[in-house]
Structure 1
Amino acid sequence: MTDPTTMALTELAAKGADADFVKQTLQFALQRLMEMDVETLSKAAYGERSEERINSRNGYRDRAWETRAGTVDLKIPKLRSGSYFPAFWNPVGLPRRP
């Protein structure tokens, strides 16, 4: 039997219900990282009115990200002025879309 502490992520993903947990946890963590990043860029939280605000949001772009745990569906925040692309996206060699 495989020792759970040394089990590869692909083996864990193949186990079914555990795969959903891994994917959902990854999706939640990445969504939260993007939200915090956009809050920092715009200098205000989502829906917050602030004198310091320098940008505002303009919806989301749906993107699928292929990982060893499976496909993770992400909603990448859009900004009214300029653009936002998560920093974690490019290091894995994914193409950048407009």
Structure 2
Amino acid sequence: MTLTHSGASELAQLIEGTTAGALIPEIVRRGFQDLLEAEVSAAIGATRHERCPDERSTHRNGYRQRLLTTQVGDLSLAIPKLRQGSFFPDWLEPRRRVDKALYAVVMEALHGDN
């Protein structure tokens, strides 16, 4: 996913005013958030604010907060909600540490479904 101009300026402001201890968790949180946005866009067939009524399966309907425990600390992620159906990312299982979940996804991608 490409970094928008406003996202780049926000990141530049963050880099100028913080230490590495505060910067690394924020970069990780933004990476996970971008991954969530890409996955929900693929699931419903449209990006955020995109108008395509024929190809879209449902619409977004706000967010719910989820605390994610990682090696860089606890991160607050905004999980998108849908009007019809539900969405929960494949790589994030309920009550499972993210490093174990991502390891499982990487191993599955490398070995495939044998």
The question of a shared fold, defined as TM-score above 0.5 by the shorter chain, is answered with: yes
Taking the aligned partners of 2:26 and 2:91, their CA distance within structure 1 comes to 17
Equivalenced residue count is 79
Aligned to 1:22: 24
**Whose Rg is larger?**
1
| Larger helix percent | 2
Structure 2 length-normalised TM: 0.63
Among 37, 46, 53, the residue aligned to 1:35: 37
CA-CA distance at 1:91 after TM superposition = 8.4
Structure 1 length-normalised TM: 0.73
Taking the aligned partners of 2:39 and 2:79, their CA distance within structure 1 comes to 11
Taking the aligned partners of 1:64 and 1:91, their CA distance within structure 2 comes to 11
Among 58, 61, 64, the residue aligned to 1:58: 61
* Cα RMSD (Å): 1.9
* Unmatched segments (≥5 aa) in structure 1: 1-15
Taking the aligned partners of 1:83 and 1:34, their CA distance within structure 2 comes to 14
Moved over 4 A (4+): none
1:88 correspondence with 2:69: no
Instruction: Give the number of the structure with larger relative contact order, counting CA–CA contacts within 8 Å between residues 6 or more apart.
Output: 1
Offset from partner CA, 1:11-68 (integer Å, 9 cap, x none): xxxxx92121111111111110110111111101111110211111000001111111
